[in-house]
Structure 1
Amino acid sequence: MSDRSYLEEISIRNLGIIDSSSLELSKGLNVLTGETGAGKTMVLTALSLLLGSKSDSALVRHGCERLVASATFSIPASLNTIIEERGGFIEEGSLVLSRTVNSDGKSKAAASGTTVTASALAEITEPLIVIHGQSANTQIVKSSKQRELLDLFAGPSLSEKLNQYLLVYAEYNQVKAKLKSLLVHSSERDSQIASLEALTQQWSALKPVRDEFAAIEEEIRRLASVEDLRIAAAGAFAALGDEDAGALTVLGTVRKFLEGAKGKDAALDEIASSVAESFFLADDAHGTLASYLASLEADPKRLDFLNERKAAITAFIKKWGSTGSVDEELAAIAIRVKNAKETIADLSGGQERITAMEEELKVLKTKLLASAKALNAERVQAAEKLGTLVTKEISALSMPHTIFHADVISVDFDGPLKESDFTPTGCDEISMSIQGHRDAPKVALGKGASGGEMSRIMLALEVVIAASAPVGTYIFDEVDAGVGGKAAIEVGRRLHALSQHAQVIVVTHLPQVAAWADRHFVVAKDSDGQIVASGVTELDDQGRVGEIARMLAGLDESLSAQEHASELLALRNQ
């Protein structure tokens, strides 16, 4: 288990009825028990938030501003690259995740101190943890979920074949869409070619430059207002430089007066400095105005040229553009012109182009069929192996005569195939079923199994799949629902066996399951009539006897229940 990640600690504050709790978990089997309504599910809710689930302000404890959940995962070196590629940051072998939800519904997530989105949390934790909730038994009856489980069990070999199939599938659909477009537009091909050729010819003749239109408008405004600009600049030049009353003359006089008292008063020196700075700025402006006046001259020919150029660009945009700004439309048309040559080639090819593409599509169809067959063969082999292993597991879970089947239902690859037969997951449907005994008919999951049997079948699948898809942490939320007696003991035994290879966290009401725990936590609720607070406590050996006795008889002080509890706890050491 050293090459697998595991959840070291989870801390919760202000979530539901939980005030503040912290669980320090270990690698083996961790069990959470407690009275109904004590808040066991809130622990899993906190984990779900940390795995990127949707936030809800109703989860925030009444009277509090926000809830906070955090978790620390121990990450082996073999997973560092995978986690960091997904946006996580490993520090000293640990990954720290946190999630806050405010009472107004706003949520914030972080991975190792860096703010991330909730979807990023989901991606980061995908290789680390699997939650088998109470809804899993309803999900497994769906064919898509059954295919997902089979593919997961089949491992890298099938994953490689599926990726190969997807590459060909994507290329096939791309060529098919392109061919369809050619066929649809073949009737209007000539007009499209003529339009594109006219566009490229007019573009070449106009030769527009990026952001040219805005520059033309700016220069037209300047040339059209030369006389107004001359009057304004000349007036300002005179006002600054007049020898008798110009601003420079006045500022110079003020400056001389102030310099006469320099060094006698700091406040006056500061004023003198400001006046001197104003004098120099005014002097610089005077010189710049002189240069501006020298360069300012009317250019009627240039103005006529610019107006003609503006009109030509405006007419071009009116014909070929849309409603955006002129420079934006020119940029968009530039892209169309750039692609026009290839588009014209596609359209000009006519029937020859269509025929060539049809031949290309046939070749791809052959490759797609071969990839689908290879994928199907891999699934058939994996399904047979999965059926054998799960049957063995459910036999150990007090279902000795039940046979589990995973059948791959595929199309007739030797017969005519429809386009709809090829999907992003191949040409296969998966059907999982059980037989009550060897001569009994196959019955689909969900129709031939009780709730307790479905829970055990799902557990058996998780145990088998765990061997080929090594996730670090498995969480089971009341996987023992509908199970009791000897079957419950076997469920506990299988969970304990699974915990030898991966960390297992179980929420349970059954003492027969809790007895197998390596670490046992109890979720307890206190109420003073106004405030309800729930906390999580790890039990010592004596505490475990009392809690299991309570689960057995409802009385933790019952001597007979305690004796029975001790017997159950002894099973783990046999």
Structure 2
Amino acid sequence: MLTSLRISSLGVIGASEIEPAPGLTAVTGETGAGKTMIVTGLGLLLGERATAGIVRRGADRAQVEGVFTGIGPVADRLGELGAETDDGELIVARRVSGGTGRSRTWLGGIPAPLGVVGQITGELATIHGQSEQVRLGTPERQREVLDAAGGAELAQQLQDYRAAFEERRRVIAELDERVRHARERAQERDMLAFGLDEISAVDPQPGEDARLAAQADRLQGLDDLRMLAESAGHALAGAADGDTDDPGALGLVGEARRQVRRMADTDTQAEPLAAQLDQLAVLVQEAAVDLAGYLADLDADPGQLEAITARRAALAALTRKYGADADEVLAWAAEAGERLADLSGDDERIEQLRARRADLDAALTARADRIHALRAEAAAALAEAAGAELAALAMPHARLMFDIERLPELGPHGGDQVRLLFSANPGTAPAPLARVASGGELSRVRLALEVVLAGGAQGHTFVFDEVDAGVGGQVALEIGRRLKRLAAHSQVIVVTHLAQVAAFADTHLVVAKSTDGQVTSSDVHRVEGADREAEIARLMAGTVSDTALRHARELLSQAARG
């Protein structure tokens, strides 16, 4: 239910707030006062498009804010979006720029896409204006009306049908893609298989190319390494022929060790020096041995560099095609293997898809048959109930019926084409509603259907704009009664110019305009008692005379009795 609607700089309304109450709220006012701006403002909260033209002249922007209660049907979605509610109230706001017409929307205090906001608020309120009246003449809307009357089983059948229909669409799309591109996929399969065979033959290892590059660099500098190692060995061990003039570090340390040991024999304070030289002799000896081993390894495999060069060439052939290094080549191979497995299963997958399509075709056909039967049942009941409403709306001979024709192919909503047929007079064959119904008749048909369908819409907000167009007198009274009946379990807001309709309202709001000679402004206020009698009199007679006031009181009394 809508509990508050604030409007700022929208059309002729500078700033106003209305508080529709439960039940029936009527909005009246002089022509041009801005009654429809209330409907426009609520439409902005329900996701309707906005233009810069709706912004009040001289204002930078227009803003609308609505407060809804009874948000249980959308509570889960609000929680998923992170929208905040306060004691079961949801605040929805929209701002429209006067320069560009662009708008921003907030849902429960958070910015939200307009489409999402419209989906959620559309569960809470519905606007029935002239555009909806025109839309009722379309087969699509007529099918929606019929489906809404079909109850829980039809709703579930349609939900299951749409899920299966969507899966069938995906299956057909994949099947068509696989069959249509079979040659390209075969070529891709051969290319991947060749690449994987080429990589498998070389069998690269992670990081191998980097390790081989380091080894090659080392081996290519082998002569320099050998010369340096020999020089270092000579410095440590001395001349290879034992020349006493070239004893090396090892000989010199040995000579120093012998001299200090002789010192220690005479002076114990030299004992630590002797121990240090003993350790030094061992270290020099070990270094000389390790250096000799290093030098021997340099000469261990003369063909190693050639093997490394050949291996690097094999790896380079792969990196030219499949990646910058061995790791990227291996990554390509992993992805290619997965893709090849998918491509290699094409024939099997095509058969699986064909089988699944056949299963879905059978399931959809069965569901479409059940949907057709449920629609036929709903059509009879809805036509009968709506006919009774039309009789009460001074159309005793009007007939509504649904023509449900089976389509040659199944569609997203089943296998039916639904048309609403109408006849206003006896002896006239029913024909498509949009072709034969006048504006006033179409208004009454729409109201009759809404009254019948709204029985389960507890707490929903219905907004009717000019539902009484083209009618008057007793028919207008009956429209008022029907709106009052609808308001027994839903909130109804009606914008009307007929006193007979406004008299049934629980809450009566008047849009009044004023001008300073340059700018026209409108405001909305609630009328009660004598003020309401005066407004009803104005609607009836155009002026507030004693006679008009007396008729207004009679009308209000009649409406109060129902």
Both structures adopt the same fold (TM-score exceeding 0.5) = yes
CA RMSD of aligned residues (A): 3.4
d(CA) in 2 for partners of 1:328 and 1:567?
A: 91
Structure 1 560/428 Cα, relative in aligned 2: closer, same or farther at 3 Å?
Answer: same
Amino acid at match of 2:345: A
Partner of 1:125: 121
Aligned-partner SS, 1:441: coil
Q: Is the 8 A contact 2:322 2:332 kept in 1?
A: no
Match of 2:194 among 173, 192, 198: 198
Q: Is the 8 A contact 1:86 1:120 kept in 2?
A: no
Partner of 2:246: none
Task: Give 5+ residue unaligned stretches, structure 1.
Answer: 1-5, 224-299, 319-326, 412-417
Structure 1 79/356 Cα, relative in aligned 2: closer, same or farther at 3 Å?
Answer: closer
Aligned-partner SS, 2:64: strand
Partner of 2:479: 491
d(CA) in 1 for partners of 2:168 and 2:424?
A: 44
Partner of 1:568: 555
Match of 2:397 among 401, 404, 416: 401
1:100 matched to 2:95? The reply is yes
1:139 matched to 2:135? The reply is yes
1:341 matched to 2:341? The reply is yes
Aligned-partner SS, 1:572: helix
Farther off after superposition, 75-84 or 384-393 = 75-84
Q: Is the 8 A contact 1:18 1:39 kept in 2?
A: yes
Partner of 2:319: 313
Amino acid at match of 1:101: V
Partner of 1:524: 512
Aligned-partner SS, 1:70: strand
Partner of 2:38: 43
1:289-438 equivalences in 2 (<5 Å): 312-316=318-322, 335=335, 337-347=337-347, 349=348, 357-411=353-407, 421-437=409-425
Deviations 1:151-193 (A, max 9, x none): 1222321121012222332333333334434443455665343
Structure 1 124/183 Cα, relative in aligned 2: closer, same or farther at 3 Å?
Answer: closer
CA apart distance, 1:547:
1.0
d(CA) in 2 for partners of 1:330 and 1:146?
A: 60
d(CA) in 1 for partners of 2:535 and 2:499?
A: 9
Deviations 1:47-68 (A, max 9, x none): 1111122232222212222222
Q: Is the 8 A contact 1:86 1:124 kept in 2?
A: no
Q: Is the 8 A contact 2:189 2:340 kept in 1?
A: no
d(CA) in 2 for partners of 1:331 and 1:42?
A: 63
1:151 matched to 2:147? The reply is yes
Structure 1 204/144 Cα, relative in aligned 2: closer, same or farther at 3 Å?
Answer: farther
Q: Is the 8 A contact 2:480 2:502 kept in 1?
A: yes
d(CA) in 1 for partners of 2:514 and 2:341?
A: 77
Amino acid at match of 1:341: A
Partner of 1:474: 462
Amino acid at match of 1:159: A
CA apart distance, 1:69:
1.0
Q: Is the 8 A contact 2:192 2:340 kept in 1?
A: yes
Aligned-partner SS, 1:446: helix
Deviations 1:483-505 (A, max 9, x none): 11111111111001100110000
How much identity, in percent, do the aligned residues show?
Answer: 36
CA apart distance, 1:544:
1.1
Structure 1 156/520 Cα, relative in aligned 2: closer, same or farther at 3 Å?
Answer: same
Partner of 2:168: 172
Aligned-partner SS, 2:517: coil
1:439-518 equivalences in 2 (<5 Å): 439-470=427-458, 472-518=460-506
* Rg larger for: 2
d(CA) in 2 for partners of 1:199 and 1:27?
A: 74
CA apart distance, 1:469:
4.4
CA apart distance, 1:383:
1.1
Amino acid at match of 1:530: Q
Structure 1 190/46 Cα, relative in aligned 2: closer, same or farther at 3 Å?
Answer: closer
Q: Is the 8 A contact 2:537 2:548 kept in 1?
A: yes
Structure 1 192/486 Cα, relative in aligned 2: closer, same or farther at 3 Å?
Answer: same
Partner of 2:18: 23
Amino acid at match of 2:322: F
Q: Is the 8 A contact 1:86 1:123 kept in 2?
A: no
Partner of 1:537: 525
**Under a length normalisation based on structure 1, what TM-score does the superposition of the two structures give?**
0.74
Deviations 1:218-244 (A, max 9, x none): x99xx9xxxxxxxxxxxxxxxxxxxxx
Structure 1 355/563 Cα, relative in aligned 2: closer, same or farther at 3 Å?
Answer: same
CA apart distance, 1:205:
6.8
Structure 1 332/315 Cα, relative in aligned 2: closer, same or farther at 3 Å?
Answer: closer
Deviations 1:267-321 (A, max 9, x none): xxxxxxxxxxxxxxxxxxxxxxxxxxxxxxxxx9999999986774343369xxx
Task: Give 5+ residue unaligned stretches, structure 2.
Answer: 218-304
d(CA) in 2 for partners of 1:78 and 1:49?
A: 21
Partner of 1:290: none
CA apart distance, 1:345:
1.5
**Under a length normalisation based on structure 2, what TM-score does the superposition of the two structures give?**
0.75
Aligned-partner SS, 2:50: coil
Aligned-partner SS, 1:52: coil
